[in-house]
């Protein structure tokens, strides 16, 4: 790069300007999550600053954005004594604890009216203290034992979301900001993916990854880790005053360029605290970071001061913990289940354990690779993870607790359901019995009847097993010949429930083409591929006639999936079942019609995050078909936000503005009301 600079003064002027611009864009990108320039433009500004600084090294300052890449490794961390102790939080584990907390506060404040609380998610990261003097970042420390912690200034400097200078100019001359450094879930997943590709050890969870990253003596390593922060309070405040409410203090921190959690909400009284808790339990799985509870703080600082603190925790705050998502139990046995496509899945049978709010006695072990990766044996103590609504899994083995009589897990060499030979496909064992295998047949029927497929209400797991075992149903087409009498004499069935089932089977005859295709259970054809296939071919026979090459012209269909589809329709048995279904009046139509007028006419919707039942474009087209205008950005005028998984800043903005948030599941339910077949 030619510098094209005539004097050091001119260089200095440009450097100052560039630093301001880069800090502004850092703030937009890392704090607000709303960049306003393309990455390439940011890179250009940064490269220009680097070039000027290397030509004029005496102009480099500590708070230059170029100084975030990490410096020479330290021998050890220094100690920092906290001028004001860094408190931890007392815990509440249930509604009763929470009510006790509220009652004590009312007693201590001698109040009968409802208390105002600030509610915040409790982040599972590392508590840090950031010291700013004259608006400049001076020093950072960990909490340590609350009285003294470690000096992690070098490492904190590498976190782009932490401003090296505060914006605006009404900050106290000396200000200690406190917050939680954490690793967002997506960054954690990427970090582990990279570690896996290099054959390195994986981090157990985002908290450990964040802690490990901050504990590096070599800050160049920290600089490469995807860390960020939410600030949740202040310590020292000198040479300036802060507002009288916790929520207002956080708003000030935001104004000064520090990152604060957008989920913060001020509520009055215990019932509203409980409502916030329930709302966050629902939202938890969709947040882009892990939380382990909710923190409630008395909002008025004067009241906080009256309440004071005991030993290491304030009396004015409490952390209501979510039920533990991890628990230790024993692996009692491993059994092998046969899936719809014949894949053999090892399932862990566990000593029942309470985790994530439910008792868990089974967990998936996925495949042979997973068993090797975990190095797991029968009798081992294992950590069970149940996050959100996901299926419980064995996250790790506590090898130090392995008993002497632990047994190795032996894989079967024949199908446990039909005794057919197994074939090996990379890390998966597969039964070669096809629909001769009763287990595969059962799974195929369960899938066909499931909610997102033909949606046959009442045709659950137990019923399918009985129907197959009693040879009333061999293929999905047989479902449409069942009589009330046949069903009524099954276990746990009566005349009425049998009638209901037959009616539900009847109703399912008229369905949509995407559902019909999905219901067939073709390997690797999920809902969105089924939708793409339906949109492309418009007719089942057209799809059946398509060659593997032609199939690959459909969105998202690559050679592997095309191969599966082709193979499925080549099989005589499958063609027969499809023809039998059609002969019994089962019909999948392409265009759903909307009841009456367009239900979303006059509304403006925004789409964000990843949707599972459709692509973004399909979602947009559907919203438009329902009458909505689809916009790219949220404003107070937005009618609703359709939020998929990993929704980020738009979700935060929508909740801040009180815009209605519709999850994909909600949306599916709404459509079922609007759409007739
Ligand atoms: C976390 N971990 O998210 C506090 N925290 O306040 C929040 N921790 C805290 N506040 C006082 N949101 C001491 C700790």
Q: For residue range 613-639, what is the model confidence (pLDDT) as tens digits?
A: 777 767 877 887 777 887 888 888 899
Residue 574 has pLDDT above 60, yes or no: yes
Which atom of ligand 1 lies at the shortest distance from residue 127's CA? 2
180 lines ligand 1 (CB under 6 A): yes
E-strand spans in 390-535? Answer: 393-397, 422-425, 428-431, 510-512
Which tops the pLDDT comparison, 31 or 448?
448
Over range 331-357, report the average pLDDT. Answer: 92
Average pLDDT in the 305-317 region? 89
For 522-532, write each residue's pLDDT tens digit.
999 988 889 88
Phi, psi (degrees; rounded to nearest 5) at 92? -120, 135
Å from CA of 608 to ligand 1 middle: 29
124 lines ligand 1 (CB under 6 A): no
At residue 339, the pLDDT reads: 92
For a mutational test of ligand 1's pocket, the pick from 180, 301, 308, i.e. the residue with the most ligand atoms closer than 8 A to its C-beta, is: 180
| Ligand 1 centroid from CA 179, angstroms | 7
List the single range of 217-231, 526-540, 605-619 with lowest mean pLDDT.
605-619
**Confidence bin at 262 (pLDDT 50/70/90):** very high
Average confidence (pLDDT) over 288-295: 94
Q: Whose CA is closest to atom 14 on ligand 1?
A: 88
State the distance from the centre of ligand 1 to the C-alpha of 265, rounded, in angstroms: 14
pLDDT tier at 646, thresholds 50, 70, 90:
confident
Q: How far apart are CA 556 and CA 453, in angstroms?
A: 20
Q: In which band, very low, low, confident or very high, does the pLDDT at 181 lie, cut at 50, 70 and 90?
A: very high
181 lines ligand 1 (CB under 6 A): no
Distance of alpha carbon 482 from alpha carbon 472, whole angstroms: 8
Atom of ligand 1 nearest to the CA of 297: 6
Supply 2's token pair.
């030619």
**Per-residue pLDDT, 464:** 95
Average pLDDT of the chain? 90
What's residue 631's pLDDT?
A: 82
Length of the chain: 677
pLDDT at 389 over 80: no
Residue with the smallest CA separation from ligand 1 atom 5 is 122
DSSP 252-305: HHHHTT----TT-EEEESHHHHHHHHHHHHHHGGGSSS-EEEEEEEESBHHHHH
| Residue 122 alpha carbon to ligand 1 centre in Å | 6
Highest mean pLDDT among 236-250, 314-328, 420-434, 446-460: 236-250
pLDDT at 677 over 50: no
* Per-residue model confidence (pLDDT) at position 591: 62
Q: Give the tens place of pLDDT for each residue, 63-102.
A: 899 888 787 888 889 999 999 999 889 889 889 999 999 9
Average pLDDT value for residue range 467-474: 94
Instruction: Say if ligand 1 is within 6 A of residue 260 CB.
Output: no
Collect contacts of 574-581 with beta carbons under 8 A, ≥24 apart: 574/520, 575/544, 577/475, 577/476, 577/477, 578/520, 578/540, 578/544, 580/475, 580/477, 581/476, 581/477, 581/480
Predicted pLDDT of residue 596: 53
The confidence band for 13, taking pLDDT boundaries of 50, 70 and 90, is very high
Residues 376, 331 contacting (CB under 8 angstroms): yes
CB 602 within 8 A of CB 627: yes
3-state SS, 68-83, equals: HCCCCCCCCCCEEECC
CA 232 / ligand 1 centre spacing (Å):
6
Query: How many A from CA of 243 to the centre of ligand 1?
Result: 19
Q: Is the CB of 118 under 6 A from ligand 1?
A: no
Would you state the structure tokens that stand for residue 276, as one six-digit string? 């916030």
Buried b (16+ CB within 10 A) or exposed e, 317-353: bbbbbbbebebebebeebebebbbbbbbbbebebeeb
pLDDT digits (tens, 9 = 90+) for 368-381: 889 999 999 999 99
Task: Give the dihedral sign, CA 614/616/617/619.
Answer: positive
Measured from the CB, is residue 122 less than 6 Å from ligand 1? yes
**pLDDT of residue 388 exceeding 60:** no
Ligand 1 atom with minimal separation from the 230 CA: 3
DSSP 645: B
Instruction: Please give the number of the atom of ligand 1 that sits closest to the Cα of 87.
Output: 13
Ligand 1 neighbourhood includes 446 CB (under 6 angstroms): no
Q: What percent of the chain shows pLDDT beyond 90?
A: 65
Hey, which residues are catalytic here?
122
Ligand 1 contact, 120 CB (< 6 A): yes
Provide the pLDDT for residue 593.
44
Percent of the chain with pLDDT over 70: 97
* Interatomic CA distance for residues 319 and 89, integer angstroms: 6
Q: Mean per-residue pLDDT for 590-597?
A: 56
Tell whether ligand 1 has an atom less than 6 A from the beta carbon of residue 650.
Answer: no
| pLDDT at residue 56 in the model | 93
Query: What is residue 676's predicted lDDT score, i.e. its pLDDT?
Result: 47
Q: Is residue 277 a contact partner of residue 294, using CB atoms and an 8 Å limit?
A: yes
Average pLDDT over residues 420-440: 90
């Amino acid at each position: 790069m030619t510098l094209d600079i005539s004097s050091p003064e001119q260089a200095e002027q440009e450097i100052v300007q560039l630093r301001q611009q880069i800090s502004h864009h850092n703030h937009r990108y890392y704090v607000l999550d709303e960049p306003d320039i393309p990455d390439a433009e940011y890179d250009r500004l940064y490269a220009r600053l680097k070039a000027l600084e290397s030509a004029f090294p005496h102009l480099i300052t500590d708070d230059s954005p170029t100084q975030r890449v990490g410096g020479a490794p330290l021998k050890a961390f220094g100690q920092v004594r906290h001028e004001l102790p860094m408190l931890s939080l007392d815990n509440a584990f249930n509604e009763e604890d929470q009510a006790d907390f509220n009652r004590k506060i009312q007693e201590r404040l001698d109040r009968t009216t409802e208390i105002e609380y600030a509610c915040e998610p409790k982040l599972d990261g590392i508590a840090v203290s950031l010291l700013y003097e004259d608006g400049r970042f001076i020093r950072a420390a960990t909490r340590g034992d609350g009285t003294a912690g470690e000096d992690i200034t070098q490492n904190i400097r590498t976190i782009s979301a932490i401003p090296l200078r505060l914006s605006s100019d009404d900050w106290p001359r000396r200000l200690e900001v406190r917050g939680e450094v954490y690793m967002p879930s997506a960054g954690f997943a990427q970090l582990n993916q990279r570690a896996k590709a290099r054959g390195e050890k994986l981090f157990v969870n985002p908290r450990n990854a964040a802690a490990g990253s901050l504990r590096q003596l070599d800050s160049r390593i920290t600089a490469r880790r995807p860390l960020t922060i939410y600030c949740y309070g202040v310590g020292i405040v000198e040479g300036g005053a802060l507002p009288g409410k916790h929520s207002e203090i956080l708003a000030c921190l935001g104004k000064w360029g520090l990152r604060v959690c957008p989920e913060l909400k001020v509520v009055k009284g215990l019932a509203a605290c409980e409502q916030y808790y329930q709302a966050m339990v629902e939202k938890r799985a969709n947040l882009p970071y892990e939380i382990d509870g909710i923190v409630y703080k008395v909002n008025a600082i004067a009241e906080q001061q009256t309440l004071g603190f005991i030993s290491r925790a304030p009396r004015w705050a409490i952390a209501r913990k979510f039920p533990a998502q991890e628990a230790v139990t024993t692996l009692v046995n491993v059994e092998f289940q046969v899936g719809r496509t014949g894949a053999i899945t090892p399932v862990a049978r566990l000593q029942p354990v309470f985790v994530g709010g439910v008792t868990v006695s089974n967990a998936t072990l996925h495949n042979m690779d997973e068993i090797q990766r975990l190095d797991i044996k029968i009798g081992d103590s294992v950590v069970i993870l149940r996050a959100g609504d996901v299926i419980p899994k064995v996250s790790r083995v506590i090898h130090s607790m392995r008993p002497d009589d632990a047994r190795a897990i032996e894989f079967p060499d024949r199908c446990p359901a039909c005794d057919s030979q197994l074939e090996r496909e990379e890390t998966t064992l597969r039964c070669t019995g096809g629909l001769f295998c009763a287990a595969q047949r059962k799974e195929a029927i369960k899938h066909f009847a499931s909610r997102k497929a033909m949606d046959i209400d009442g045709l659950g797991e137990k019923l399918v097993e009985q129907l197959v075992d009693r040879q009333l149903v061999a293929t999905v087409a047989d479902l449409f010949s069942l009589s009330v009498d046949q069903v009524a004499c099954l276990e746990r069935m009566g005349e009425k429930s049998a009638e209901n089932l037959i009616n539900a089977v009847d109703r399912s005859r008229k369905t949509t083409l995407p559902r019909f295709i999905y219901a067939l259970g073709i390997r690797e054809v999920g809902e969105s591929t089924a939708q793409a296939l339906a949109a492309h071919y418009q007719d089942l026979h057209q799809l059946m006639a398509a060659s593997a090459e032609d199939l690959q012209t459909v969105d998202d269909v690559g050679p592997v999936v095309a191969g599966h589809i082709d193979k499925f329709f080549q099989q005589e048995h499958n063609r027969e079942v499809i023809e039998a279904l059609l002969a019994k009046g089962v019909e999948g139509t392409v265009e759903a019609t909307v009841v009456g007028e367009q239900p979303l006419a006059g509304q403006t919707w925004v789409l964000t995050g990843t949707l599972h039942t459709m692509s973004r474009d399909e979602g947009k087209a559907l919203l438009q078909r329902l009458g909505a205008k689809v916009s790219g950005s949220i404003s107070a005028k937005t009618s609703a936000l359709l939020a998929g998984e990993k929704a980020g800043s738009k979700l935060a903005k929508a909740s801040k503005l009180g815009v209605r948030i519709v999850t994909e599941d909600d949306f599916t339910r709404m459509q079922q009301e609007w759409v007739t077949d």
